[in-house]
Structure 1
Amino acid sequence: MADELELLRGANPVPVDGPHFGDGPLDHRAERHLDRLLHERATATATPATATAAVPRRRTRLAWGLAATAVVAALVSALLFTGQTTAPAVAAPRPLVVQTDSSPVPLKELAERAERAAADNAPALRKGTHVQAWSLAMSDKKPPITLPIERIVRWHADDSHTEIVVATDPRHPGRPVLTDEDGEPRPVEDGHVLSEQTYPRSWSDAPPQSPPPTDVAGLRAYLQEAAYSKTALTTGELLDAVGSLLGTWTLGARESATLAQLLADTAGLKPLGQVTDRLGRRGQAYVLDLPGTREMLIMDPATGAVLGLETTFTKAEPEYGVKAGDVMSYSAWMR
């Protein structure tokens, strides 16, 4: 057993002091050691187990209790004893990095760019959304686990809408993806449809179901109503409300310009510089520091459209296996 453990440690693509934190491929040395472990020791393997893992919603904590131990053990067993070397990512993704040589663009300037880009009023507002998202599952004294999904919502002429949720991770195309479909934590194939459901017409016209206004004061009131708040929203609450808006609407040029102006008039958002988001798009980053977390808003530098929103821990929570710098959640919106 000691030999197997040493080989496994040597093949580990994510050593404790490694720089890639799970996002990089195995080097040649690790591949050789892992191949030796998987094939030369095959006669000593046990019956394959079913790999499992778990996943929560944003800003929630999932307590697995004793079941978490079996989940991690089963995942390791299945990956070692079935010949599968493309393990799903079980660590928190790395936060986006701002280019050190880039110049921050003030939100006021970005809002002016967005206003100019909206002169021809194209593209137009569209009800429906397309988003790729990551969320972090945490449990007491167990490693955090991420769930990456892609969600598409399309509205129909009769005001019904269809929502499709697929398990996929653009960082690791083709690899198994973690899911808690049907309440049973386990990995599934990349592209696996988690749910596909059509909903009837909603008779409510309350925000965010109603179209967003194209004036700043109206949009601020709209987002406050969407957040079910009777008082003015804090900047953190405003960003949450923006996520709710983008979960229903794909903003047009005019709406994006209005939102950019609203954000420019909001205190607390600090420009950092240029980032490349998880879909390979260049954007400008604006951050809001909150107790224990940092919100990073990524916006298109030319049109002011919101590309993504990332929440990162700034304080370690050892009881949940979370370190400062781990990503709690991330959303990347597309047209």
Structure 2
Amino acid sequence: MTENAVLERMLSEADPAPTPRDAAPDARALATRDRILRTSTAPSRRRVRAVGWASGLVAAAACAAVAFTLMMPTGAAVAGTPSPLAFGESETVAEIVDAAEVDLAAVPGPAEPERHVRAASWTLSLDDAKITPQFSVLTWNADLSGRVVMYAGVPYESTDAVANNSAEVRSSGEVTMDLVMAPGEFSTPVPEAPGASHDELMAALHAFGMPDSPNAFEVATAITSLIEQWTLTNAQHAELLSIVENTAGVEGLGIATDRLGRSVLGMRMVSGDGDASNVLLVSADTGRIVGLETIALRDVGGAPVGAVTGYRMWGLGEGAAE
């Protein structure tokens, strides 16, 4: 099955209609499909993050509703946009990575990389003043078969500061999409489990589009693309953090509470064009990379300065999405 065909299936699963499955897509469906393909395969320089096909897989079910909404530069969210995370006193990148390595050595993690990822993200809609989180469970196999199930989160007001920062992001349990992929239908640049060495993980990051001489923003983008397809071991997370530490242009932030109520430390990277920043979130309890928040630094592409333009979290416990 071609990538276009899988995307058309996803749109059908996400928004079922009485129209027969084998009917030709109408103009609206074609326009939606084309918009997904444009943003997945040829992102502009102002994209929040470069997404591979499988990352787009998780987000595509809500693509028709996803849009940038406005937030004042002071950080007061409006029109369904979450407030940025509030970080405490800054720490250096070396301090963050050193602490994470201690936690990674002490806390149990997966024995080997797993083709199973549970994630939570924001679905920003211009049609709804409330913030609507979305949960996903992706499972795939060596033969490139798999399944992705999407769950609606419980909407809340953007003005609700407690909800923004104190574990008020939770699933409603409502399934919004359940897509089963036959062997060969799942697409990934890293079909075999990556190793834990520096060279092996660098090869995996390059496979996800990281250039030969990446800036810190590009490193974070590739790392999170890898994490969206693989649940990695603690040793692999430690090596990825070492790669981040040894990349120029990374700023250490303090501690914060993420939108699932977890204690996290942040490391910020600015894009090469200066349009956006990525904040990589590291668990203060396990040392694992557990999230990414992207913020607009310039008023471009409809996203004003200070707007949160993307947010994903990983490492959810069993049952958190359901």
Using structure 2 for the length normalisation, give the TM-score: 0.61
Contact kept in structure 2, 1:166 and 1:191, CA below 8 Å:
yes
Which of the residues 208, 211, 235 maps onto 1:226? 208
Separation of aligned partners in 2, 1:164 and 1:105: 38
Q: In the superposition, relative to structure 1, how do residues 149 and 121 fare at CA in structure 2: closer, same or farther (>3 Å)? A: closer
Amino acid at match of 1:315: R
Secondary structure of the equivalent of 1:126? Answer: coil
Separation of aligned partners in 2, 1:217 and 1:241: 15
Contact kept in structure 1, 2:87 and 2:256, CA below 8 Å:
yes
Separation of aligned partners in 2, 1:277 and 1:268: 23
Separation of aligned partners in 2, 1:166 and 1:204: 20
Q: In the superposition, relative to structure 1, how do residues 118 and 211 fare at CA in structure 2: closer, same or farther (>3 Å)? A: farther
Secondary structure of the equivalent of 2:86? Answer: coil
Separation of aligned partners in 2, 1:107 and 1:120: 20
Match of 2:286 in 1: 303
Secondary structure of the equivalent of 2:243? Answer: helix
Amino acid at match of 2:134: I
Match of 2:19 in 1: none
How far off its partner does 1:155 sit?
3.5
Separation of aligned partners in 2, 1:193 and 1:203: 22
Contact kept in structure 2, 1:132 and 1:332, CA below 8 Å:
yes
Q: In the superposition, relative to structure 1, how do residues 171 and 146 fare at CA in structure 2: closer, same or farther (>3 Å)? A: closer
Amino acid at match of 1:110: V
Amino acid at match of 1:150: F
Residue 86 (structure 2) pairs with residue 97 (structure 1): yes
Aligned positions of 1:1-12 closer than 5 A: none
Separation of aligned partners in 2, 1:232 and 1:200: 37
Separation of aligned partners in 2, 1:211 and 1:269: 28
Q: In the superposition, relative to structure 1, how do residues 235 and 105 fare at CA in structure 2: closer, same or farther (>3 Å)? A: closer
Residue 264 (structure 2) pairs with residue 289 (structure 1): no
Contact kept in structure 2, 1:127 and 1:249, CA below 8 Å:
yes
Which of the residues 160, 178, 200 maps onto 2:145? 160
Give structure 2 stretches of 5+ with no counterpart.
Answer: 1-31, 41-46, 49-64, 66-77, 158-170, 317-322
Separation of aligned partners in 2, 1:169 and 1:296: 24
Residue 114 (structure 2) pairs with residue 114 (structure 1): no
How far off its partner does 1:311 sit?
0.5
Contact kept in structure 2, 1:311 and 1:327, CA below 8 Å:
yes
Residue 262 (structure 2) pairs with residue 274 (structure 1): no
Separation of aligned partners in 2, 1:107 and 1:205: 36
Match of 1:129 in 2: 117
CA displacement, residues 172-216 of structure 1 (integer Å, 9 cap, x when unaligned): 6xxxxxxxxxxxxxxxx9443221011123499964322122112
How far off its partner does 1:262 sit?
1.2
CA displacement, residues 26-57 of structure 1 (integer Å, 9 cap, x when unaligned): xxxxxxxxxxxxxxxxxxxxxxxxxxxx9987
Q: Supply the RMSD in Å over aligned alpha carbons.
A: 3.6
Secondary structure of the equivalent of 2:244? Answer: helix
Separation of aligned partners in 1, 2:185 and 2:147: 16
Separation of aligned partners in 1, 2:147 and 2:187: 18
Separation of aligned partners in 2, 1:159 and 1:204: 5
Contact kept in structure 2, 1:276 and 1:282, CA below 8 Å:
yes
CA displacement, residues 104-150 of structure 1 (integer Å, 9 cap, x when unaligned): 14236524642663378733232210000115467xxx999865311
CA displacement, residues 67-117 of structure 1 (integer Å, 9 cap, x when unaligned): x9xxxxxxxxxxxxxxxxxxxx84211111112xx3514236524642663
CA displacement, residues 10-38 of structure 1 (integer Å, 9 cap, x when unaligned): xxxxxxxxxxxxxxxxxxxxxxxxxxxxx
Amino acid at match of 1:235: A
Separation of aligned partners in 2, 1:268 and 1:170: 36
Amino acid at match of 2:105: A
Q: In the superposition, relative to structure 1, how do residues 311 and 116 fare at CA in structure 2: closer, same or farther (>3 Å)? A: closer
Q: Segments of 4+ in structure 1 off by > 6 A?
A: 54-58, 142-145, 203-206
Q: In the superposition, relative to structure 1, how do residues 137 and 275 fare at CA in structure 2: closer, same or farther (>3 Å)? A: same
Residue 133 (structure 2) pairs with residue 148 (structure 1): yes
Separation of aligned partners in 2, 1:171 and 1:282: 21
Secondary structure of the equivalent of 1:271? Answer: strand
Q: In the superposition, relative to structure 1, how do residues 147 and 233 fare at CA in structure 2: closer, same or farther (>3 Å)? A: farther
Separation of aligned partners in 2, 1:144 and 1:325: 18
Identity of aligned residues (%): 25
Secondary structure of the equivalent of 1:324? Answer: coil
Match of 1:81 in 2: none
How far off its partner does 1:289 sit?
2.2
Q: Number of aligned pairs?
A: 231
Separation of aligned partners in 2, 1:196 and 1:148: 17
Q: In the superposition, relative to structure 1, how do residues 103 and 314 fare at CA in structure 2: closer, same or farther (>3 Å)? A: closer
Give structure 1 stretches of 5+ with no counterpart.
Answer: 1-53, 61-67, 69-88, 173-188
